[in-house]
Amino acid sequence: MGLTVTGAVLDGETVGVRCEDGRIAAIGPGVEAAPGDEAIAAGAAPLVAPLLNGHTHAAMTLFRGSGGDLPLMPWLEERIWPVEAKLDDEDVYWGARLACAEMVRTGTTRFWDMYWHPEATARAVADAGIAATVGAPLFDHDGNGEGMRERALASLDHLAELGPAIAPALAPHSIYTVSEDSLRWIATLSAEREVPIHIHLAETEREVADCVAAHGLRPAAYLDSLGALGERTVLAHGVWLDRAELELIAARGCTVVTNPVANMKLAVGGVFPYPAARAAGVAVGLGSDGAGSNDSLDLLADLKAFALAQKHAAASPAAIAAGEAWAVATGAQAPLLGGGERLTVGAPADFLLLRPDAPELGIGELASNLVYAASGAVVDTTVAAGRVLMRGGELPGMDGIVARARERARRLGLA
């Protein structure tokens, strides 16, 4: 028994999709439902790949609306870290459930997360029916490197047991909150266990200046000197990477995830140099960052900001084409992130049906409309691993999830 969608439109052609065991078993004109299949008549809805959120802190939905218009460091030190010290498993679970609900509603079915109580996030992801690469944030700027290492090892073991939808990662917060020794230890562990490293890098100009002052190297070269740049490394932000760093990152096979809306909201003063990254051959994905600093998880909205920021910074409307921006948002330009597979037989049965009556999509090229006209509101149906998570824009259980997340935010003095 599988799921069959008929009457969808893919690249201008009317097609059906049959899904079995979480994968696409058949796709194309004339594909029909098998006896016993769950059947969806798409009514000429456009069929597209889902979005992939390459960097977020899902449970930070609890912090939404309490950013206080502060710069990055005071925001972290005054608003975020003191409250995070009080978080428990249930807070993170419901914050992450809320995030997953928003992602499903707006067409994201896979994300990369870095947050406290990662097992609670993983549980929320599994209960929501989507997939994530999850890591506990690692810090040792409190001087407790030993405690950090124990936490890292324990979380890798726990996360490895949580099923196929959850991939574990090591998530050192940044080069300014994790010591040189610990970063070297993380790099070795990543290689031994074959798990990714997910780290914030080159987010602010001050981070670069401090890194050069402390180590005589710019951030990417510093990480490379510790063995932490490799094919399993995901660098979030990269706003201040220079050309030599981008070439180094490309040579090492790392992935950079740009978070344009969070960067603009926290006013980091620069734009990730996408054209130079592309020229160097860097794998690039798109992220929202946490709802504490965005505040939305609607990646279609962030996609517009990404494309506009690139055009504006380059003073050229040709800086990025709509189809290329869309490919970045689905993960097609960054294989490590785990999305972006073409909708073909054998690929994971992850896809979206867009509202056939959406005014934003009625006229003109689909890729251009998705980047510049659409928001997550155009998503009608979300399918992940062959399961229908949302149909007709209605997500089952949404009211309960919002209510429980609000209760947890109140407990923390945030709502």
Nearer CB in complex with Zn ion: 289/350: 289
Smallest separation, CB 321 to Zn ion (Å): 27
Smallest separation, CB 236 to Zn ion (Å): 5
Smallest separation, CB 35 to Zn ion (Å): 48
Nearer CB in complex with Zn ion: 112/326: 112
Please choose, out of 89-97, 289-297, 325-333, 348-356, the segment that lies near Zn ion by the rule CB under 5 A: 289-297
Nearer CB in complex with Zn ion: 113/350: 113
The Cα–Cα gap between 346 and 14 comes to 20
Nearer CB in complex with Zn ion: 120/378: 120
The vertex-407 CA angle with 401 and 412, nearest 5°, equals 130
Smallest separation, CB 55 to Zn ion (Å): 6
Please choose, out of 94-102, 176-184, 286-294, 333-341, the segment that lies near Zn ion by the rule CB under 5 A: 286-294
Nearer CB in complex with Zn ion: 113/380: 113
- Residues 81-120 vs Zn ion: string with x where CB under 5 A? ----------------------------------------
Please choose, out of 88-96, 270-278, 281-289, 306-314, the segment that lies near Zn ion by the rule CB under 5 A: 281-289
- Residues 236-255 vs Zn ion: string with x where CB under 5 A? --------------------
Smallest separation, CB 289 to Zn ion (Å): 4
Smallest separation, CB 215 to Zn ion (Å): 22
Please choose, out of 99-107, 116-124, 179-187, 284-292, the segment that lies near Zn ion by the rule CB under 5 A: 284-292
Smallest separation, CB 261 to Zn ion (Å): 12
The vertex-159 CA angle with 155 and 161, nearest 5°, equals 130
Smallest separation, CB 222 to Zn ion (Å): 19
Please choose, out of 67-75, 150-158, 283-291, 348-356, the segment that lies near Zn ion by the rule CB under 5 A: 283-291
Total site size for Zn ion, rule CB under 5 A: 1
Smallest separation, CB 159 to Zn ion (Å): 19
The Cα–Cα gap between 284 and 227 comes to 21
Please choose, out of 14-22, 127-135, 265-273, 282-290, the segment that lies near Zn ion by the rule CB under 5 A: 282-290
Please choose, out of 13-21, 60-68, 181-189, 285-293, the segment that lies near Zn ion by the rule CB under 5 A: 285-293
Nearer CB in complex with Zn ion: 31/72: 72
Residue nearest to Zn ion (CB): 289
3-state secondary structure the chain: CCEEEEEEEECCEEEEEEEECCEEEEEECCCCCCCCCEEEECCCCEEECCEEEEEECHHHHHHCCCCCCCCHHHHHHHHHHHHHCCCCHHHHHHHHHHHHHHHHHCCEEEEEEECCCHHHHHHHHHHHCCEEEEECEECCCCCCHHHHHHHHHHHHHHHHCCCCCEEECEEECCCCCCCHHHHHHHHHHHHHHCCCEEEEECCCHHHHHHHHHHHCCCHHHHHHHCCCCCCCEEEEECCCCCHHHHHHHHHHCCEEEECHHHHHHCCCCCCCCHHHHHHHCCEEEECCCCHHHCCCCCHHHHHHHHHHHHHHHHCCCCCCCHHHHHHHHHCCCCHHHCCCCCCCCCCECCEEEECCCCHHHCCCCHHHHHHHCCCHHHEEEEEECCEEEEECCECCCHHHHHHHHHHHHHHCCCC
- Residue 289 contacts Zn ion per CB under 5 A: yes
The Cα–Cα gap between 196 and 199 comes to 10
Nearer CB in complex with Zn ion: 57/105: 57
Smallest separation, CB 203 to Zn ion (Å): 8
- Pairing state between β 13-20 and 23-28: antiparallel
Binding region for Zn ion (CB under 5 A): 289
